[in-house]
Amino acid sequence: MNETAATAADLRDTALAQPANLPVGPIGRHGVGYWGAWTLIATEAALFAYLLFSYYYLGASGPPGWLLEPHPTLKLALPDTILLVASSFVASFGEHGVLHRRRGQALVGFGGAFVMGVVFAAVQVLEWKSKTFRLGDSSYASIYYVTTGFHMAHVVVGLVVLLALFVWTALDYFSPRRRLSVSAGVLYWHFVDVVWLFVFTTYYITPYLGFAR
């Protein structure tokens, strides 16, 4: 109860080792919370995998003409995709700001990513409005709206996360050591972007490659 270090007698024949100087709580990305963020990403990625599976299954077993848009226009979707991917870089820029104790950079990063995310969402709504089909028109329409809808829901959550990071950074909560929330939040935003690449490819690129036509 009183010693602070292991004695030689302790160490002989026992697994007890002199503990090292250990971090107290999460340091940088090293913490159980980051593992937790990855499990969240794993399960949500699985969700999108099943959504895309549903698309491919419905398409492969659907009647001719199932694809309501054999040549979907990329006018809005492609720039929107580029915007979203760019916002990931901006968010990372923000995380680097926290890493290097540059609060201004962090605020620009999180705020910038937030704005870009809002624009993405707005453009996506315009894209929905530009479609000639509605949710209940056919299974293609249904899966399109539900998949992009689920993605939109994840974007909205991501926007709330970015906003929270912005506010917490402004309140000077984070430092290079204490920033697990930042790393987890930015990781989530990256995930939202990567998922979009899969969704975009499925709905906007594979028709040109001949799927379900």
**CA nearest to 90, candidates 12, 2, 158, 14:** 158
- Residue 197 CB coordination number (10 Å): 12
Is residue 50 part of the contact set for another protein (CB under 8 A)?
yes
**Dihedral sign of CA atoms 155, 156, 157, 161 in order:** positive
**Dihedral sign of CA atoms 45, 159, 93, 204 in order:** positive
Q: Would you say 45 or 123 has its CB closer to another protein? A: 45
Bridge partners (DSSP) listed for residue 209: none
Number of residues engaging another protein in binding (CB under 8 A): 66
Site for another protein in 137-156 (CB under 8 A): 137-143, 146
**Rounded distance, CA 163 to CA 65, Å?**
43
Is residue 23 part of the contact set for another protein (CB under 8 A)?
yes
Q: Would you say 25 or 79 has its CB closer to another protein? A: 25
Site for another protein in 56-115 (CB under 8 A): 57-58, 61-63, 66
Two tokens at 7?
A: 């004695």
Asked whether 186 and 93 are in contact (CB, 8 A), the reply is no
Q: What is the smallest separation between the CB atom of 94 and another protein, expressed in angstroms? A: 16
Q: What is the smallest separation between the CB atom of 9 and another protein, expressed in angstroms? A: 10
Secondary structure class of 68 (helix, strand, coil):
coil
Is residue 30 part of the contact set for another protein (CB under 8 A)?
yes
Is residue 202 part of the contact set for another protein (CB under 8 A)?
no
Is residue 198 part of the contact set for another protein (CB under 8 A)?
no
Is residue 132 part of the contact set for another protein (CB under 8 A)?
no
**CA nearest to 63, candidates 156, 176, 165, 139:** 139
Is residue 136 part of the contact set for another protein (CB under 8 A)?
yes
Is residue 127 part of the contact set for another protein (CB under 8 A)?
no
Q: Would you say 127 or 137 has its CB closer to another protein? A: 137
